[in-house]
Structure 1
Amino acid sequence: MNLKKKIIGGLGLGLLLGAISPIVAQAAVVDTDTTEATVTFEGGALDLVDAPTAITFGTVDLSADEETYLGASVATADDNGLLEVADSRGNQEGWHIIASMTGFTQDGEPSLPGSTLTFDTPDFDTTSTIADTAPVLSGMTISADATAIPINALAGTGMGRSFYDWTTEGDVELFVPAGAGEAGTHTATITWSLDDTPS
């Protein structure tokens, strides 16, 4: 009988304590408002930041036959051997690179008639910051009479900073026709032109 009283008393005390415990009200959103964050960008520039200073084929044996010699763009004190384009215009219009060259000369006189330079498709360097689609890249052959477009950023592509690489031996080939070679050093100048629309 005492045990029953203790149990009933305990239950009663528990109910009483529960009844007098503070009730925590649920928080309710009573109103909202908004803040607008804005920023205005002014369009930047489209720049051909850098191009390879030098492409070298080294010292090679002169041949009586037509020959193809392997070379590459090389890093110098002035650059890393890469072609670099920066597009911060923010207009999504795209761009392209045109490559042209003079004929070879030796001591100021025309030389190596009929020679051409052939470039492999450039590597799209991993340090590029273009976040979306890379430009269309192509191999090319240029000469004193022929230009080419190795890099073509279509509309909606090419934004950011990008680097193009021909630094592996054999990325550039020099073709010399039979009988065109002459002992000594021969030099041609390659011009890279940046156009502000896709090709």
Structure 2
Amino acid sequence: MKLTKFAIVGMVTVATLVGTGTGTMAHAADGGTLGSKADVNFIPNDTITNPVDPTDPGNPEVVVPVDPDHPAGTAGPLSIDYISNIHFGDQKISGNNEVYSAQLDQIKVGASETIKDIPNYIQITDNRGSNAGWHLTVKQDGQFVNGTSELVGAVLSFENPTLNSASESDAPTATGFSLDPAGTSSDVMSAEEDQGMGTWVEMFGEDATEAADSIKLSVPGKTSKIPGQYEATLTWELTDTPA
């Protein structure tokens, strides 16, 4: 009887040891840890950003300005992509004080090239990645002239600045302004640190209706005028630090 009892205990002990050993071996064969890496290499972005529809900047359709003389955009990573030329069209000569409103800008949208009236606008892109901010100014390089005739006392003004973007970054600051023909620079847009990343537009007028009365040319009645086209040049300057 004692022998039988010992044999049973021995069998139980052996079975326990074999089960433990089997469990340890299975864990070692099926598990473990191993490291790996992920990386990304950023390079400067020097491509030119095409104009967008300022009223719908997230629209992926191709936008082409109708004005054939619009200035080409500068190359990135911090760039002026588009600036509307300002046209006041044909105006009858007047001896009274007059205020003329600029014509709307136009773009062709999508493969159908549907023509759309839009506010005159400026488009800026910041793809630097530094989020350092930027500052845009403009100056008028002399009075409107037609040959030797100067539109003395004329004032060009930009009102109802409206910002729009598909970017989720904080918005820059936009201001209205009147230009000095003597060449004094006026603030247009300014992005502080961590503002204005991606592509931003400043429209003069929230929509076509408001824009129709947002850029004005005031001309004194006493100013001498002769038939023909008067022109002025504006210089827009974008710097890589806030104002």
- In structure 1, how many angstroms separate the alpha carbons of the residues matched to 2:128 and 2:174? 21
Change (3 A) 1:112 1:175: same
Larger helix fraction of residues:
2
2:91 maps to 60
CA deviations 1:89-132 (Å, max 9, x no partner) are: 1111111111111311102x24111211110133223xx33212
1:70 maps to 101
State whether structure 2 residue 89 is matched by structure 1 residue 51: no
2:214 maps to 171
Deviates more, 1:159-168 or 1:140-149: 159-168
**Counterpart amino acid of residue 135 in structure 1:** P
State whether structure 2 residue 241 is matched by structure 1 residue 192: no
Asked if the contact 2:82–2:122 (Cα under 8 Å) also holds between the matched residues in 1, the reply is yes
- In structure 1, how many angstroms separate the alpha carbons of the residues matched to 2:225 and 2:149? 11
State whether structure 2 residue 180 is matched by structure 1 residue 140: no
RMSD value, Cα = 2.6
State the percentage of identical aligned residues: 26
Give the C-alpha shift of residue 179 in structure 1. 0.8
Asked if the contact 2:169–2:194 (Cα under 8 Å) also holds between the matched residues in 1, the reply is no
CA deviations 1:148-178 (Å, max 9, x no partner) are: 1111111111111122223621120101123
Asked if the contact 1:72–1:171 (Cα under 8 Å) also holds between the matched residues in 2, the reply is no
**Counterpart amino acid of residue 75 in structure 1:** Q
Q: Tell me which stretches of 4 or more aligned residues in structure 1 moved more than 6 Å.
A: none
Q: Between Structure 1 and Structure 2, whose CA radius of gyration is higher? A: 1
Q: Which runs of structure 2 are paired with 1:1-199 in the superposition (5 Å)?
A: 35-44=36-45, 45-52=77-84, 54-75=85-106, 81-102=120-141, 103-107=143-147, 109-125=148-164, 128-145=165-182, 146-166=184-204, 168-184=211-227, 185-199=229-243
> For structure 2, which runs of at least 5 residues remain unmatched after alignment?
1-30, 46-76, 109-117
- In structure 1, how many angstroms separate the alpha carbons of the residues matched to 2:98 and 2:91? 11
Change (3 A) 1:73 1:140: farther
- In structure 2, how many angstroms separate the alpha carbons of the residues matched to 1:138 and 1:82? 13
Alignment length (residue pairs): 166
User: More relative contact order in 1 or in 2 (CA 8 Å, sep 6+)?
Assistant: 1
- In structure 2, how many angstroms separate the alpha carbons of the residues matched to 1:174 and 1:129? 32
TM-score, with length taken from structure 2: 0.60
**Counterpart amino acid of residue 87 in structure 2:** T
1:23 maps to none
